[in-house]
Amino acid sequence: MADKILIAPSILSADFAAMGDAVRDLEKWRADWVHCDVMDGRFVPNITFGMPMVEALRRNTSLTLDVHLMIVEPEKYVERFVKAGADIVTFHPEASEDVHGTLAAIAAAGAKRGLVLNPDVAVGKVEPYLDECDVVMLMAVFPGFGGQKFIRDVLPKLTELKALRGDRKFLIELDGGVTEDNAKEIVAAGADVLVAGSSVFKSQDPQRTIEVLRS
């Protein structure tokens, strides 16, 4: 487990007309990472933003930019996301014809790299790549939209992934449906990093919510 639990609020739930303010707020609220949900309308049925947004965020924050690519053919874009300022780039293995090569390209460009598994993808799918990952993220919702309900079947998968990790150093990240009410059991099951979109940005007191999620 990481020394402390890291909180990665997703700006998908922030005001898209004021992203500079959103990341400055996240610094003030002591978030650890900024989770950036990139959707292409093909891998998922929604479209968000791309490299220009990451580049703009980079100019406005020194927080770690955690870029979650929900796009087909991520190999075509990973270098440009790193150049734009991504510190971490993750993608879904089923979206790429060359998972090893794409992971290597992210590392060569100078960022941390990782894979993401949808709720219906077994943990075994990432096993061949675990030595090449800095982060492995499990989805607790089907990607595409913020504010969905947490799918509890992910809890045993977290524990399975943690057991598979052995002496490896990758962080286990959990994305989707995280709230003040379920954070504790998600961490107990094995997560090191919690993504939280709506529960942070729709909170009356986001700083307190981040503290509660982390405890």
Q: Which residues are catalytic?
A: 37, 175
Residue with smallest beta-carbon separation from ligand DX5: 197
Q: Footprint of ligand DX5 on residues 12-41 (CB under 6 A)?
A: 12-13, 35, 37
Of 102, 48, 97, the C-alpha closest to 80 is 102
Residue 46 and residue 184: Cα distance in Å, rounded?
30
Residue 33 beta carbon to Zn ion: minimum distance, rounded to whole angstroms? 11
Does residue 93 bind ligand DX5 (CB under 6 A)?
A: no
Residue 192 beta carbon to ligand DX5: minimum distance, rounded to whole angstroms? 16
Does residue 74 bind ligand DX5 (CB under 6 A)?
A: no
Does residue 71 bind ligand DX5 (CB under 6 A)?
A: no
Residue 76 and residue 105: Cα distance in Å, rounded?
10
Does residue 112 bind ligand DX5 (CB under 6 A)?
A: no
Does residue 175 bind ligand DX5 (CB under 6 A)?
A: yes
Please identify which residue in the block is written with the tokens 């490896």. 168
Does residue 92 bind ligand DX5 (CB under 6 A)?
A: no
Length of the chain: 215
User: Which SS3 state, helix, strand or coil, does residue 140 take?
Assistant: coil
End-to-end Cα separation, the chain, in angstroms: 14
Cβ within 8 Å of residue 25, ≥6 positions away:
206
Question: Which residues are at the interface with ligand DX5 (CB under 6 A)?
Answer: 10, 12-13, 35, 37, 68, 141, 143-148, 175-178, 195-199
